[in-house]
Amino acid sequence: MGKIAFLFPGQGCQYVGMGKDLFTNSPEARQVFELADRELGYGLSALCFDGSEQELTKTENTQPAILTVSVAAYRALAAYGIRAELMAGLSLGEYSALVCSGMLDFAEAVTLVRKRGLYMQQAVPEGVGGMVAVLGLETAKVEQACAQARTLGLVQIANYNCPGQIVISGEKKALEAAAANAADLGARRVIPLQVSGPFHTDLLQPAAEKLAQELRTVSLKEAEIPVISNVTADIIPNPATALQLLPQQVKNPVLWEMTIRKMLAAGVDTFVEIGPGSTLRGFVKKIDRKANLLNVEDMASLAKTVEFFRIHN
């Protein structure tokens, strides 16, 4: 077996009930939820397990919720001594990766990502912009679709997820025009995403500035496990660089496909998606059909993953 990478999901994978099984059955996971509730001063656990979907989908709630479930799932897996050689997280998921790599303290991270969510929401008023997934169209044509729509406002590529799936983001009129252009250029589908703003564009500059200010009070340590950055698709060399990249990350495109290719080139053949949902495994499968794909989001998937490593060790 080759190397192991842990992947952490971003916003959009949340669902009511996530993490409850781990909380009930894993003492390591339970500690993470209890710490999150204490740090935030409200019942994040209750919101994850039994909250209303509407509340959970608010960016300032979604971000700490996904981080908490992901770190809880990681701690439940780490209790079995299973470690990765590399880590990465999609957008918000990068914070989960930094926590699990030992670079960022969870107690600091959970309040930080709540603020990140608020700053992202405040940067652009609701309804001004959004994001659209473009399926089945090569990158150059997606670029062209955006370029043709820029007379109407800002629109750009926000996520390079995997071959045939690129997310564009921007101001409403320009975004709608770019999506229509992409369809005319032969996209198989264009799907508006359930997000509250045009994330990973220059419109998020105010959020980047507030986040940079906030990060001045955060202390990072050297990573125990290397983390690949969304912004550079390269290993984050030290805490100082991480502090520079995190504010840029909210307004820069997420280089996810490039990140996975970097891992494959480094000899990774087994990917474990840690946290809610199955989005990231779907992306990896489109990049490399032969990769081993596992996940941890509840006790059943944890047991399956632990069994896989027991057999392959």
Give the residue numbers annotated as catalytic, written as ranges: 91, 200
Residue 299 belongs to what H/E stretch? helix 299-312
Task: Write the DSSP symbol of residue 234.
Answer: S
| Angstrom distance (rounded) from CA 144 to CA 139 | 9
The identity of residue 34, as a single letter, is E
Burial of 8 by CB count in 10 Å (0-12 exposed, 13-18 middle, 19+ buried)? buried
CA 90 to chain centre: 3
Radius of gyration, alpha carbons of the chain:
19
Contacts of 56 (CB under 8 A, 6+ apart): 14, 15, 16, 47, 48, 62, 65
**Concatenated DSSP letters of 226-269:** -BB-TTTSSB--SHHHHHHHHHHHTTS-B-HHHHHHHHHHTTEE
3-state secondary structure of 129: strand
- Which residues is 88 bridged to in the sheet? 7
E-only strand ranges, 56-179: 86-89, 129-135, 155-162, 165-171
Pairing, β 292-296 against β 189-192: unpaired
Residue 194 Rama label (left phi>0; alpha psi -120 to 50; beta): beta
Nearest to 117 by CA among 44, 57, 77, 72: 57
> Can you tell me which residue has the tokens 């996810």?
256
